[in-house]
Amino acid sequence: MDKANAKGETVNELLKAEAHVWNHIFSFINSMSLKCAVDLGIPDFIHNHGKPMTVSELVAALPTLNPTKARNIYRLMRILLHSGFFEQQKLSQEDGYVLTDASRLLLKDTPFGITPLLKVMLDPILTKPWDFLGPCCWNLRLQNRASEPINTMWDSSITHTWLQNNDSTPFDTAHGKPLWDYACHVPKLCHLFNEGMASDARLIINVLIDKCKGSFEGLDSLVDVGGGTGTVGKAIAHAFPHLNCTVLDLPHVVAGLKDSGNLKYVGGNMFEDVPVADAVLIKSILHDWNDDECMKILKRCKEAISKQDKGVVIKKNVMIVDMVVMEKKKVNDGSFNLMETQLFFDMLMMVLQTGRERREEEWAKLFFAAGFSNYNITPILGLRSLIELFP
């Protein structure tokens, strides 16, 4: 029998608790290992091989791999196998790796690939703010003199991190300005964001058009608010040729993008004005902003669908694609906990933006305060839902 300590905990219970803590301490290794595999192009090599690929075949296929590091590829694949990104099939002499549904989403040329989202979220610009979450840290600097080796020194000053200062976000603390202001002056980050959001949009809009066609019926015009470079707008315009689609985003985002057929681009500010239309679509936008900021956006959207002057409109609505947090429900899809991922996103919004992921009652409070009389939630988009608002 395990001995108990003063609090009645057995050694076995303490060891399990230790393993739980360790698992969370080192959970970043999962994402960094996945990023390494994607940067090496491993999913594409396995896909192009056309049959189960052994580790020796994989090593031979990696053009930039230093021969002295070859034995480490097995170790990388082992953790990704455990994480469900690859599977093994028995061959005559050794097992071969094949893709899973998850790793197929990381192929370069797949229509619904989300590699760009992986690259932007794990870019050092976006991971650095987590170091400033709190509560405080000493400044570490290197002292380098020609006559001495480099010595690690602790600076006497303390960096007061986000929980101790008045900055709006940890990103602001880390980089000196809010995310969108920073991105305007860093083309690399702006490009990564646009590519990441576009990759996410392809899958979601495909499902939305397929399963929610009724939401677009009876509409003559639609505005995609914060629509980036137009991935969603293009898909809707193509699926519904009768529908005039407008993509609204900041002027520098839509600069140089050309109107085509029933799709046009408008540079503007969603806090100030939204073009008049029968319906407004807001995908993955409101979770970026706090309640007061969301109220401003929602009121501009309500004004846009209330200014029609062409007679009877079959329906006017605002369509929101965002998360509805299932905080009091255990939402599992097999072994995958959707709830945990929603909470990850909530923390991400806290670190990068002023926003949050909201429960249904929090959404409802916003909707009614903005002047909408009713709403409907359709949970068909995995982590996210389609929320329809009616004035």
CATH number for 188-390 (one of 3.30.200.20, 3.30.43.10, 3.30.499.10, 3.40.50.150): it is 3.40.50.150
Residue with tokens 């629509």: 227
Residue 279: other Cβ atoms inside 10 A:
25
Dist CA 138 CA 140 (whole Å): 6
Q: Give DSSP secondary structure letters for 49-66.
A: H-S-B-HHHHHHH-TT--
72 CB contacts (<8 Å, ≥6 apart)?
A: none
The Cα–Cα gap between 302 and 348 comes to: 28
The reply to whether 287 belongs to the active site is yes
Which helix or strand (DSSP H or E) is residue 158 part of?
Answer: strand 151-160
For 349, the token pair is 């919004």
Q: 349 — phi, psi (to 5°)? A: -65, -35
* Helix (H) or strand (E) run with residue 153 in it: strand 151-160
pLDDT per residue, tens digit, the chain (391 aa), is 456 665 667 889 999 999 999 999 999 999 999 999 999 999 999 999 999 999 999 999 999 999 999 999 999 999 999 999 999 998 888 899 999 999 999 999 888 899 999 999 999 999 999 999 877 655 444 344 444 444 444 444 556 689 888 999 999 999 999 999 998 888 888 888 889 988 888 889 989 998 888 889 889 999 999 999 999 999 999 999 999 999 999 998 899 999 999 999 999 999 999 999 999 999 999 999 999 999 999 999 999 998 765 555 456 899 999 999 986 555 555 435 788 999 999 999 999 999 999 999 999 999 999 999 999 999 888 899 999 998 8
**What CATH number belongs to 12-110?**
1.10.10.10
Q: Which residues contact 224 (CB under 8 A, 6 or more apart)?
A: 230, 232, 233, 236, 245, 246, 247, 248, 281, 283
**Which of 20, 191, 238, 287 does the annotation list as catalytic?**
287
SS3 category, 327: coil
| Every domain of the chain and the residues it spans | 12-110, 188-390
For residue 248, which of 208, 202, 282, 292 has the smallest C-alpha distance? 282
Start-to-end C-alpha separation, the chain? 66
Sheet holding 384-390, edge to edge: 263-267, 244-249, 221-225, 279-283, 317-323, 384-390, 374-381
